[in-house]
Amino acid sequence: MGLSAKQQQIREREQQIIRVARAQVLSEGYHGFGLEAIAVEIGVSRGTLYNHFSCKEDLILAVLMESLELRLGWVQRAASFRGTSRQRMTAILVAIELFARIRTDHYRIEEIVRSGTVWEKANSEKRIAASHMNGQATGIVAGVVRDAIVQGDLEFPADVKPEEFVFGVWSLIEGGFSIHSNSGRLWQPMTKQSGRILRLSAWRLLDGFGWKPLSTGEEFSDQTESILKELFSAEFRLLKQDW
Amino acid sequence: MGLSAKQQQIREREQQIIRVARAQVLSEGYHGFGLEAIAVEIGVSRGTLYNHFSCKEDLILAVLMESLELRLGWVQRAASFRGTSRQRMTAILVAIELFARIRTDHYRIEEIVRSGTVWEKANSEKRIAASHMNGQATGIVAGVVRDAIVQGDLEFPADVKPEEFVFGVWSLIEGGFSIHSNSGRLWQPMTKQSGRILRLSAWRLLDGFGWKPLSTGEEFSDQTESILKELFSAEFRLLKQDW
Amino acid sequence: MGLSAKQQQIREREQQIIRVARAQVLSEGYHGFGLEAIAVEIGVSRGTLYNHFSCKEDLILAVLMESLELRLGWVQRAASFRGTSRQRMTAILVAIELFARIRTDHYRIEEIVRSGTVWEKANSEKRIAASHMNGQATGIVAGVVRDAIVQGDLEFPADVKPEEFVFGVWSLIEGGFSIHSNSGRLWQPMTKQSGRILRLSAWRLLDGFGWKPLSTGEEFSDQTESILKELFSAEFRLLKQDW
Amino acid sequence: MGLSAKQQQIREREQQIIRVARAQVLSEGYHGFGLEAIAVEIGVSRGTLYNHFSCKEDLILAVLMESLELRLGWVQRAASFRGTSRQRMTAILVAIELFARIRTDHYRIEEIVRSGTVWEKANSEKRIAASHMNGQATGIVAGVVRDAIVQGDLEFPADVKPEEFVFGVWSLIEGGFSIHSNSGRLWQPMTKQSGRILRLSAWRLLDGFGWKPLSTGEEFSDQTESILKELFSAEFRLLKQDW
DNA sequence: AATGAATGAGCGTTCATTCAT
DNA sequence: GATGAATGAACGCTCATTCAT
């Protein structure tokens, strides 16, 4: 269809806008997120942006949405890892950490979404979509936890729901990265290898909940690396720093 | 002294400005942090603010500083808890979580500091002071970890430093709260009782590292509560939600 | 061309801004040069000004530039006067004086440029252009002096360069006007006919340097008038006061 | 009288204020003329300044007044030089130029007085006093011209008044210095030795009007120097650049 | 007489948004 | 659909002036 070709074109332009917008946020932070800068970078006028997004906030949410989609894909891939329940959980931890480290921009966007009037101003359907997308990711992880329980690898206190457990693990990884990314400012560089200690902590957290097979030493290092290479070799190459 | 009375007054006004500034950030987010809004709220002119702070960024850092000071005090109090090393660590976890939950504004301020040109523009001496204040808090926690090792309650992998361990635990608590405080926005309320699962996760993380005495069940709940009542009863009352 | 029409419109607006800006300076002095006042006078918003000039200083320099361009044109016209070298020099004196008297605003602008941080803040290419434009005018005058020497109408002390001689004459005319334009303020009106005495002084200065043909009496009055009518009749009519 | 001692003290403070104010203008230009900077430099509060001057403009005018007084003194001294009428006139030229070169601040002040609303806002009696002080100086010079005519050294066209002649000469010197002081900005440095060419031009202007004894060559250089040493040796030493 | 915190109008500048073309 | 000039409210900041102490 001729129309379809045109729609395709529009779609491409939208994604170009999103891509450039994300790059701006990443390099300039909140204050770099100006429509003029984005328009210039793309080579269109500011007015054109409004043919694609009804306001600035809608654009921000579109950027966020893309991140969430991407992350969901990674989590899905990780959850499908063929192995023990503990290995699948490990794969998810690897996915989240890798995402956090490669997609620094994602945090910037989240900050913006949180810090301003974004959520209020943006199109409500986009808001719901974003919430849903995020919920899917956590749901998948909770599914792995349930599998572990079913398979007898994990025994939970009666009053702890899988979603809650996910919340704890996820907090550890994301919180760690969040602190790390602040290092240059408020925090003295806590550790040069914050990734390693974060992975170790997550691994020991699984132990703490009795997720079998319990760790016997430093094997987490080998396991995460092998999962990384199997599932995310391409993405891993994008990572400039050490793992 | 007459002089002292006047200085007292000035001091009070400064703290009033800081207080109102924080309140604005809390209620309005990044965009609430405008000098006009703060001035109007206090009932003074914008010019007056400049008699107390040389620029906007200096004010932001003053707000942050107050938070950091307060948190440091809580951490110090917790580290002085009389009990086993594990109890002292637990006390610290309680302190951090309580602070995070009472001082939501603190996160907002940190976001602002991170997201803009604050760090560059602000008075360098204030920047250093803030860094130092933050470093003190983490240092105290690392001290408790070292005590545990010395006392034989904790045995570490050779290549993990106490500061790194602290980094992991701190990440869990702060990350958890950070996600929680976003609930209304991006995340569906993960759990009504995010605090409880966070405390449980932290507790199990200690187990995972073999910090003795290992937990045998749900006793963490009793322990944190008793510490809370002993050390932070007054502060606890400020907490509107359930513990 | 449609494009040209639009560009024409933009160009016109720019010149409108410059025109109004100059008028404000003329009527209100330094403090008339505020963007708000200019915008209101034109009937646009302050923001609009920034679509045409990147900062206040750029606008100031644009105003100055227009003056310098105009003056250069007059000097060029005068230097092309067909007559003896002394007549050509006289024509230049007439041009400078006429410019000074018609373009009072020019002095105000120069004051502003000198008194503030204009030169530092403005676009460097505009600064260079202004310098160059000014240099061209003095260069033309020096050329006339050289012609006079070549033609044997003028004999110089060995150590005086034409440019230096120009400096002296120019000083007399501009300094005279500068004092005159201050009359209403600090100086009592020195003379109702400051122009005439200035012209006479300049004329006698030429005599003092032996520029032939030497004056024999009051013929300078006739000569300047005839030059005025031949070269600057249109501009002369703009002059409200007597010559 | 005890009162007198106190008044003396007040007077001294006023002069201190004036002195500092002038220094600020000299070093910082128009924008350096802020009450805060002046107050800090003196070591008093801004409020105190208002016990001595009713508004900023009054202070500016007081600064100007001091300059005018000083210059008048120099002109008087020069007019009393014992020698021919031409030598006395030369002495005055030397005085004006020296003043212009040493008292750069004077021009800055005049600019400020001219450029703003100073004249309107300032106390009217101060305005009149300043005008009067300025008139006295020109009157003295006109007196020397009259002496020259009486003594037969100078013959004037019937329709030129001594005051007008003074206006021409004065214009040359002050205009020259004015252009010179702009060198670094709009004008290319016209000449390294603008003083010398200015003096030569003034000297030749006297020749042009037939003021005897006419110059025969470069003797103006010797004459101005000897006058300078005789009348203004102390002041000359303040001059950093070459004469 | 001296203080200096408070004032408040004013400044130059930015930027998301609109709309005539 | 794309443009980009115009908008106008908001921003951070300055500073001459006032006035309670």
Which CATH number fits the domain that encloses residue B38?
1.10.10.60
**Residue C2: per-residue pLDDT:** 44
Q: CB atoms < 10 A from the CB of B194, how many?
A: 23
Distance E3 C1' – D132 CA (angstroms) = 37
Query: Residue B191: pLDDT band by 50, 70, 90 thresholds?
Result: low
Distance (Å) from the alpha carbon of B212 to chain A's nearest alpha carbon? 12
Q: Closest chain A residue to B105 measured between Cα atoms?
A: A115
Query: For C211-222, how does the pLDDT look when each residue is reduced to its tens digit (9 = 90+)?
Result: 999 998 888 999
Same-domain pairing of D42 and D143: no
Per-residue tokens: A73: 């894909």
Q: Tell if A14 CB is < 7 Å from nucleic strand F.
A: no
Amino acid at C118: V
Scanning the structure block, which residue is given the tokens 């803030």? B130
With a cut of 70, say whether residue D189 has pLDDT above it. Answer: no
Give the tokens for residue D24: 């600020």
Asked whether A190 and B163 are in contact (CB, 8 A), the reply is yes
Q: Are residues D140 and D196 in the same domain?
A: yes
In whole angstroms, give the CA distance from residue D15 to residue D63: 9
Q: What is the pLDDT of residue B190?
A: 65
Contact residues on chain D for C220, CB-CB shorter than 8 A: none
Cα–Cα distance, A165 to B204 (Å, whole number): 11
Residue tagged 């240059």 (tokens): A184
Positions 108-167 in B, CB within 7 angstroms of strand F: 121
Q: How far apart are alpha carbons D12 and D14 in whole angstroms?
A: 5
- In this structure, chain A runs to a length of 243
**How many angstroms separate the CA atoms of C198 and C90, rounded?**
12
Return the DSSP state at C29: G
Whether B42 and B145 share a structural domain: no
Contacting subunits of A (3+ beta carbon pairs below 8 A): B
Q: Which residues contact residue A2 at a Cβ distance below 8 angstroms, ignoring those fewer than 6 apart?
A: none
Judge contact between C140 and C79, C-beta under 8 A: yes
Token duo for residue D171: 């214009």
Rounded to whole angstroms, the Cα distance separating C191 from D165 reads 10
Dig out the tokens for D79 from the structure.
Answer: 């007019």
- Per-residue burial over B29-41, b if 16 or more Cβ lie within 10 Å, else e, is bbebbebebbbeb
CA of D117 to C1' of E8 (A): 20
Q: Give residue for tokens 């993380």.
A: B205
* pLDDT of the residue at D184: 63
Neighbours of B28 (CB within 10 A): 16
Which residue of chain C is at minimal alpha-carbon distance from D215?
Answer: C208
Q: Which of D138, D179, D188 sits opposite C171 (nearest CB)?
A: D179
Q: How many degrees, rounded to 5, is the angle at CA C63 between CA C61 and CA C68?
A: 90
Residues D86 and D26 in one domain: no
Q: Quote the pLDDT of residue C1.
A: 43
Query: In degrees to the nearest 10, what's the CA dihedral of A229, A232, A233, A235?
Result: -150
**Minimum mean pLDDT among B26-35, B77-86, C141-150, D221-230: which range?**
B26-35
Return d(Cα D144, Cα A135) in angstroms, integer: 98
Per-residue pLDDT tens over the stretch D16-68: 999 999 998 888 777 778 999 999 999 999 999 999 999 999 999 999 999 99
Q: How far apart are CA A186 and CA B60, in angstroms?
A: 13
In chain C, which residues from 9 to 38 place their CB closer than 7 Å to nucleic acid strand F?
10, 13
Which residues in chain C show pLDDT less than 50?
1-2
**Would the CB atoms of C31 and D161 count as touching at under 8 Å?**
no
CB D195 within 8 A of CB C167: no
Give, to the nearest 10 degrees, the angle between helix B194-208 and helix A162-181.
Answer: 80
Rg of chain C's alpha carbons, rounded to an integer?
Answer: 20
CB nearest to A178's CB, from B134, B175, B197: B175
Question: Would you say the C-beta of A48 is within 7 Å of strand F?
Answer: yes
Q: Which residue has the tokens 């750069």?
A: D104
Query: According to the model, what pLDDT value does residue A150 have?
Result: 97
B168 and B189 both lie in a single domain: yes
With left for phi above 0 and alpha for psi between -120 and 50, is residue B152 left, alpha or beta?
A: left
Instruction: Map A149-177 to HEC letters.
Output: HHCCCCCCCCCCCHHHHHHHHHHHHHHHH
The A residues from 41 to 100 touching B (CB cutoff 8 Å) are 64
Contacts of D88 (CB under 8 A, 6+ apart): D78, D79, D81, D144, D147
Residue type, A54: S
Q: How far apart are the C-alpha atoms of D36 and D17, rounded to whole Å?
A: 12
> By the CB < 8 Å criterion, does A206 face chain B?
yes
User: C197 touching D, CB under 8 A?
Assistant: yes
> Do A114 and A18 share a structural domain?
no
Closest CA to A57 of A128, A113, A115, A131: A113
> How confident is the prediction for chain C on average, in pLDDT?
90
Q: pLDDT tens, D66-119? A: 999 999 999 999 999 999 999 999 999 999 999 998 888 888 888 778 766 788
Going by the DSSP 8-state scheme, the letter that residue D213 receives in this structure is S
| Minimum Cα–Cα distance from B205: chain A residue | A205
CB A125 within 8 A of CB A105: no
Contact A64, A110 (CB under 8 A): yes
CA B29, C1' F12: Å apart? Answer: 18
The first and second tokens of residue A229, run together, are: 């290479």
pLDDT tens per residue, range A119-159: 888 888 888 999 999 999 999 999 999 999 999 999 998 88
Average pLDDT over residues D131-150: 95
Interface of B with A in 173-192 (CB under 8 A): 173-176, 178-179, 182, 185-188, 190-191
Range of the domain at C234: 61-239
Same domain? For B36 and B68 the reply is: no
Which ranges of chain A have pLDDT less than 50? none
At B183, the pLDDT band (50, 70, 90 cuts) reads: low
The set of strand F positions with any atom below 7 Å of a protein CB reads: 1-21
Q: What is the pLDDT of residue D25?
A: 85
**Residues composing chain D:** 243
Chain C residues within an 8 Å CB radius of D207: 207-208
Cα Rg of chain A (Å, integer): 20
- Number of folded domains that form chain A: 2
Task: Pick the closest to residue A183 from B167, B100, B162 (CA basis).
Answer: B167
Identify which of D30, D110, D205 has the shortest CB distance to residue C186.
Answer: D110
- D-chain CB neighbours of C113 within 8 Å are 185-186
* CA–CA dist B7, A185 (Å, integer): 32
A46 touches strand F (CB under 7 A): yes
Task: Find chain A residues with C-beta within 8 A of B131's C-beta.
Answer: 186-188
Tell me how close the Cα of B6 comes to any Cα of chain A, in angstroms. 34
Q: What pLDDT sits at residue B1? A: 43
Asked if chain A contacts chain B via 3 or more Cβ pairs within 8 Å, the reply is: yes
Whether residues D97 and D171 fall in one domain: yes
Alpha carbons B135 and D100: distance in angstroms, whole number: 60
Residue D54 token pair? 């009713």
What is the identity of the amino acid at B226? S
D35/D122 same-domain check? no
Name the residue closest to E4, CA to C1'.
D45
Amino acid A145 reads V
Angle between helices A85-102 and A162-181 in degrees, nearest 10:
30
Distance C55 CA to E13 C1' (A): 8
Write out chain D residues lying below 8 Å of C187, CB-based.
Answer: 131, 134-135
DSSP sequence for A16-38? HHHHHHHHHHHHH-GGG--HHHH
Range with top average pLDDT, A112-126, C213-227, D138-152, D207-221: D138-152
Say how many CB pairs under 8 Å bridge C and D: 190
Which residue do the tokens 């995010």 mark?
B194
User: What span, in angstroms and rounded, lies between the C-alpha atoms of B93 and A165?
Assistant: 18
Are residues A148 and A107 part of one domain? yes
pLDDT (0 to 100) of residue B129: 92
Instruction: Show Cβ contacts of residue C33 under 8 Å, excluding neighbours closer than 6 positions.
Output: C21, C24, C25, C56, C60, C112
Contact C205 D205 (CB under 8 A): yes
Query: Which amino acid, one-letter code, is at C110?
Result: E
The shortest C-alpha distance from B129 to chain A (Å) reads 10
- C125-132 contacts at long range (C-beta below 8 A, 24 or more positions apart): C126/C58, C126/C61, C126/C62, C126/C65, C127/C61, C129/C65, C130/C61, C130/C64, C130/C65, C130/C68, C130/D186, C131/D186, C131/D187, C131/D188
Mean pLDDT, chain B, as a whole number?
90
Neighbours of A237 (CB within 10 A): 8
Chains near C with 3+ CB pairs less than 8 A apart are D
Q: Which residue type, as a one-letter code, is found at position B237?
A: R
What's the DSSP call for residue A44?
S
Residue A168 touches chain B, beta carbons under 8 Å: yes
Which residue in B29, B6, B165 sits closest to B107, CA to CA? B29
D101 close to D242: Cβ distance less than 8 angstroms? no
Per-residue pLDDT tens over the stretch A156-175: 988 899 999 999 999 999 99
Could you give the CA distance from residue D17 to residue D63 in angstroms, rounded to a whole number? Answer: 9
Q: What percent of chain B has pLDDT over 70?
A: 95
CA distance C3 to chain D (A): 36
User: Which of the four pLDDT bands, split at 50, 70 and 90, describes residue D170?
Assistant: very high
Scan residues 28-67 of chain D and list those with Cβ within 7 Å of strand F.
Answer: 31, 33-36, 46-47, 50, 55-57
Cα distance from N-terminal residue to C-terminal residue, chain D? 47
Other beta carbons within 10 Å of C32: 20
Range scoring the smallest mean pLDDT among B125-129, C172-176, D6-10, D222-226: D6-10
- Residues in chain D closer than 8 A to C134 (CB atoms): 186-188
Query: Are A93 and A16 found together in one domain?
Result: no
CATH code, domain carrying A119: 1.10.357.10
Instruction: Residue count of chain B, please give it.
Output: 243
Distance, CA of C39 to C1' of E10, in Å: 15
Cβ of B11 under 8 Å from any chain A Cβ? no
Rounded Cα distance between D207 and C3, Å, is: 62
Does residue C45 share a domain with residue C76?
Answer: no
B138 and A CB contact within 8 Å? yes
Cis ω on the peptide bond leading into residue D189 (within 30° of 0)? no
